Structure formats: structure tokens, C-alpha cells
Amino acid sequence: MGVAAAHAAFEDGRRAYDRADYASAYREWRPLADGGDAAAQFLVGFMHERGQGVPPDPAEAVAWYRRAALQGDVHAQFRLGFLHAYGRGVDRDDVQAADWYGRAAAQGNRAAQTALDELRAEGRLDGPGGSREALLLRGAADRGGAAAQYQLALRYATGEGVPQDAEQAAHWYRQAAEQGLAPAQYQIGLRYANGDGVTKDYAEAVKWYRRAAEQGVAFAQFNLAVRYANGQGVERDPVQAYQWFSVAAQSLLGKEADTARQARDSIKAQLTPEQLARGEEMVRSWRAKPEAPGAPSATPRR
């Protein structure tokens, strides 16, 4: 299926879902999910979980969520955390729940961070940030494991199992980011933007935001748009700002999506008709470009 046809099918599914025609929505989204679209995989999983257009099947939901989550879909990561935490469609596993909640939280999902904090407060994690785990992570990180480097950076950022150390957090985020791990690219971009553990450097922040944004990290897309809108670390470019605010708005939810849309509309008012046409074409043609060799491309959408 071509890009235009896939986009049209996704939007047809969204309209069907909005009018509660779940069977039609499922028919539109299932082929896209089979083809590797992470957003469609999440939605197919959600419909299996809720029994919308198909019989409720939590195990099938878990399978689809996992496919989307491994591509970085933050909503799928959160739902996987929830299902593991409560043993729905999968054996209850608080460590797995914490892992998926942690991945979603790393992308800025506040609900996931709250759920992770609740797991810890309830004593359901047997020393998740304990020194033994930190030592194991350090060994794996030293061997070059990007996921371990990222998790170790999280520990240093929060002081779980190791002394809190912003410089060490930035070091390990960068190690993972250089290997193409998109959440780590977003996190190191934040640290350069804020001067957290590194010298503040907007140009360096833009570099990392761009790499994460190109892979589909919505918060990186939003932050990259802000830099283009304000000319921080990059030459001011309202067309690029319009593109990235628009793309981010397709993936973000709730108030965050509203903020992105409002920013997009504010920039839109500054564009000439020619600039707007160019920006809209950039939005239509944008697709995520995973850096991992052979990884399927995901196009996050609402």
C-alpha cells in the first residue's frame, strides 16, 4: 500500500472509530498493523483489549501492543505496563510492568511515571533500583548494550541504586543515543537544552531532538518545532516549525496535543500561502525513519 493510500485508510479508520463503527475501523487498521504501522498496531491492540469490533482478547491485545511498543509507541508501552501490572492477557509481572512503564515515562508520559511510582510505593518491586541491579546494568552498559546504557542513565538521573549524578546520566544517555536509541536521543537533547549534566548548548540539543523526532518521538518533535519557531540553536524557520508542531500533534494526546495544535496554528498565521502549502506537503509526506538497521518504519498518529 502506498503512503497516500495508507494515510487515507488510517484516517478512514479514525472517522469510523469516532462514530463507534468499530468493525469498519478494525477493517481499515488491521492491514496497516500487519504491514508494520506502530500506531495501527496499538489501535488494533486496544480494540482487542476493549472488545471493540472484535471479541475481547487481552492476550491478543498484548501481542499487538508489544509489536507497537518495540517500535517506540508510547501508548502501547503504557498499556503493556498496565496489563503486566494487573495480569490481564499475560502473567502478572511487576518487573515487566516497571520496564514498560519506564520506557513510556522516558518519552514524557506522565501517567506512566505515576504508575511506576505507585508500583514502588506499594512495595511491589523488590529493590528495582537496588545496587545489585545497578551493578548488573553497569556491566551490560560497559559491554555496549544500548538498552542497559539507557536504563543506567535513568538510575543516575533519579538516584535509584546509585548516587544521583547528572553528569553520569548525561554520559550514559549519550552513549545510548549514539547507538540510535530514540528515547535516549530525546533525553540527551533535553539535557543540552537545560544544561543538566552538560554545558547548555541549543545547537547540540537541536541535533539530538532532530534524530529522535525523525524516529517518531513526539516530545522531541514538539521541542524541535519550538527551536525552529524561536531560532534557538538553529536558524528560525516557521515552515519547519509548522511541520514539526503538526507531526507532534498527531501523536500527542490530551492537553499536550492541544498545546501542539495551538502552537501550530500560531505559526500558521505567520506563513504565506506558498509557505503553508510547502509545510502541509512536508506533513503529509513525513514518515518515521528508525535508525536501527532493518527496523520497520512507524508513523505515530492519534
Question: Which of 23-27, 76-80, 151-155 is predicted with the least confidence, judged by mean pLDDT?
Answer: 151-155
Confidence of residue 301 (pLDDT cuts 50, 70, 90): very low
Q: What is the pLDDT of residues 91-106, one digit of tens each?
A: 888 778 887 888 888 7
- Residue-level pLDDT at 294: 36
Q: What is the pLDDT of residues 234-256, one digit of tens each?
A: 999 999 999 999 999 988 888 88
Which segment, 153-162, 269-278, 283-292, is predicted with the most confidence on average? 269-278
- Residue-level pLDDT at 133: 61
Here the cell at position 282 is 512536508
Burial of 123 (0-12, 13-18, 19+ CB in 10 A): exposed
Q: Which top CATH class is 3-121?
A: mainly alpha
Q: What is the pLDDT of residues 282-291, one digit of tens each?
A: 999 989 888 8
Q: What is the largest CA-CA distance in the chain?
A: 59
Domain layout of the chain by residue ranges:
3-121, 201-288
The yes-or-no verdict on residue 292 having pLDDT over 70 is no
How far apart are alpha carbons 180 and 182 in whole angstroms?
6
Q: What is the pLDDT of residues 169-221, one digit of tens each?
A: 999 999 999 999 999 999 999 999 999 999 999 999 999 999 999 999 999 99
Question: Which of 8-17, 18-27, 152-161, 265-274 is predicted with the least confidence, judged by mean pLDDT?
Answer: 152-161
Determine contact, residues 134/101, Cβ cutoff 8 Å: no
